[in-house]
Amino acid sequence: MYDLSLITDWIHNLLSSFMPGWLTTTVECVLIGVGLLLVYALLALFYIYFERKVCAAFQCRLGPNRVGPWGLLQSFADMFKMLIKELITLKHIDRFLFALAPYLVIIASMLSFAVLPWGNGLQVLDFNIGIFFLLAVSSIGVLGILLAGWSSNNKFTLIGALRSGAQMVSYELSIGLSVLTMVAYAGTMSVTGIVAAQEDLWFIFSGHVPAIIAFVIYLIAGTAETNRGPFDLPEAESELTAGYHTEYSGIHFGFFYLAEYLNLFIVSGVATLLFFGGWMPLHIPGWDGFNEVMNYIPSVVWFVGKAIALSFIIIWFKWTFPRLRIDQLLTLEWKYLLPINLFNLVLMVLVIVFGWHF
C-alpha cells in the first residue's frame, strides 16, 4: 500500500522549516479547506455528467455530446448557466431562514464529506467516534430541507419539505441500524479503525449473512436518504413542481442540486467504508502475490472507484423502478426494513459471539 502521508509529511516538513508552528497549522488548515472545496466541486461536476450519461444509456439515447469532446464540458456549462441566472427577490418569504437553508444543507454534506476515508494517510477528520459523527452531521441536512420548504411560504414547498423530512428521518433509522450492525462487527467507530479491520478481507465477504443483509438495507435506505431513485417523491414533479426548492432560483437552487449529488457520493462512500473496505485494496487471504499486485493501485483510486461503482447502482435504481407513494414508502421502512434490521442486528451479535464469521 502506498502511504500517501509521504506527500503530506513532505509539505508539513517544508512548511515547518521556515514557519512557526501556529502558522504551519493555519496554512495546512487552509490547504485542507481548499482541497475539500476542489474535490467537492469536481465530484459534483463529474456526477452531473455521469448521471446524464447513465440515464441516456438506459433510455437508448446519446446524452450530452455537443459541449467539448463527448460532452465532457457540459456540466461546466450547466454551472455557468446557473451562476448567471437572476436571483429573484421574493416578497412573501421568511428572508433569514430562506437564506440560511442552503448553508445548512451544504455544511452538513461538507462535514460528512470530510469524514470519508480518502486514502492511506489522507483521512481528514479522524475522530474515535468517526462514523457516529458522520451520522450526526448528516442529519443536519434534513433541517436545511425543512427550513427551505417552510420559509418559502408556498404550498408546494411545504408539502415537499414535509414529505422529505418524514422520508429522511424514517430511513435514517435503517441507515443507523445498518451502521450499528457493522460497528458491532468491527468493534470500533473510528473510520481508520474500520478500514484497518478490513485489511485481510472486506466486511461484505467476511461478515457472513448479516453483513449482506445490512448492505442491501443500507443501499435501499441510502437511496431514500438522498431523495433519489424510486424514492424521489419529495420533488415529484407531476404533483409538486419541484418540491422543497420550488422558490429557489439560480445558484440558490444550485446548492440543493449540488448537495443532492454529493450526498449520493457520501452514501456510496460510507457503504464503501463499511462493507467494501474503504480505501483498502482487494485482499484475499492466502493469495500473497495477488495481494501484492493489488497494493500497487493507489488507495485513492480504490476508494473513489468503489464509491462510483456503488453510486452507479443507485443511479440504476432510478431508471428501473417506478416512484413509490408516500404510504408505500413509510410501510416499506417501518414494517419491513426496521424489523428486518432489528433481527439482523441480533443475528450479527450471534455471529460475533459464537465466532461464525470468516
Partner 1 sequence: MISLSIFGIENNALLAVVAALTGFGLVALAMWLAGLISPRSFNPQKGEAYECGIPTRGVSMSQFKVGYYLFAILFLMFDVETVFLFPWAVRVQEMGVDGLISIAVFFGILVLGLVYAWRKGALEWK
Range 254-293, binding partner 1 (CB under 8 A): 254-255
The residue among 12 and 52 lying less far from partner 1, judged by its C-beta, is 12
| Shortest distance, position 12 Cβ to partner 1, whole Å | 5
Q: By CB under 8 A, name the one of 73, 143, 169, 204 that touches partner 1.
A: 169
Q: Are 145 and 244 in contact (CB under 8 A)?
A: yes
Which amino acid would we find at residue 156?
Answer: F
The reply on whether position 145 binds partner 1 by CB under 8 A is no
- Sign of the Cα pseudo-torsion (84, 97, 30, 4, in order): negative
Q: Are 54 and 64 in contact (CB under 8 A)?
A: no
Q: By CB under 8 A, name the one of 148, 195, 220, 274 that touches partner 1.
A: 195
Q: Which three cell numbers stand for residue 260?
A: 443532492
The reply on whether position 176 binds partner 1 by CB under 8 A is yes
Interaction pattern, residues 41-70, with partner 1; x per rule: CB under 8 A: x-----------------------------
149: nearest Cα among 113, 104, 86, 109: 104
Q: By CB under 8 A, name the one of 67, 196, 297, 300 that touches partner 1.
A: 196
Distance CA 53, CA 102 (A): 27
Subset of residues 23 to 42 that bind partner 1, contact rule: CB under 8 A: 25, 28-29, 31-33, 36-37, 40-41
The residue among 11 and 57 lying less far from partner 1, judged by its C-beta, is 11
The residue among 71 and 165 lying less far from partner 1, judged by its C-beta, is 165
| Shortest distance, position 126 Cβ to partner 1, whole Å | 4
The reply on whether position 206 binds partner 1 by CB under 8 A is no
Subset of residues 119 to 138 that bind partner 1, contact rule: CB under 8 A: 120-127, 132-133
The reply on whether position 188 binds partner 1 by CB under 8 A is yes
Q: By CB under 8 A, name the one of 98, 150, 203, 218 that touches partner 1.
A: 150
The reply on whether position 158 binds partner 1 by CB under 8 A is yes
Q: Which three cell numbers stand for residue 186?
A: 468491527
The reply on whether position 97 binds partner 1 by CB under 8 A is no
Q: Which three cell numbers stand for residue 240?
A: 409538486
The reply on whether position 109 binds partner 1 by CB under 8 A is yes
Q: Which stretch binds partner 1 (CB under 8 A): 52-60, 152-160, 214-222, 305-313?
A: 152-160
The reply on whether position 172 binds partner 1 by CB under 8 A is yes
Q: By CB under 8 A, name the one of 227, 338, 344, 347 that touches partner 1.
A: 338
| Shortest distance, position 103 Cβ to partner 1, whole Å | 5
Q: Are 297 and 1 in contact (CB under 8 A)?
A: no
Q: Which stretch binds partner 1 (CB under 8 A): 54-62, 66-74, 115-123, 213-221?
A: 115-123
The reply on whether position 253 binds partner 1 by CB under 8 A is no
- Sign of the Cα pseudo-torsion (127, 130, 135, 138, in order): positive
Distance CA 305, CA 131 (A): 21
Q: Which stretch binds partner 1 (CB under 8 A): 46-54, 63-71, 85-93, 312-320?
A: 85-93
Q: Are 45 and 79 in contact (CB under 8 A)?
A: yes
The reply on whether position 353 binds partner 1 by CB under 8 A is yes
The reply on whether position 95 binds partner 1 by CB under 8 A is no
Q: By CB under 8 A, name the one of 90, 204, 212, 297 that touches partner 1.
A: 90
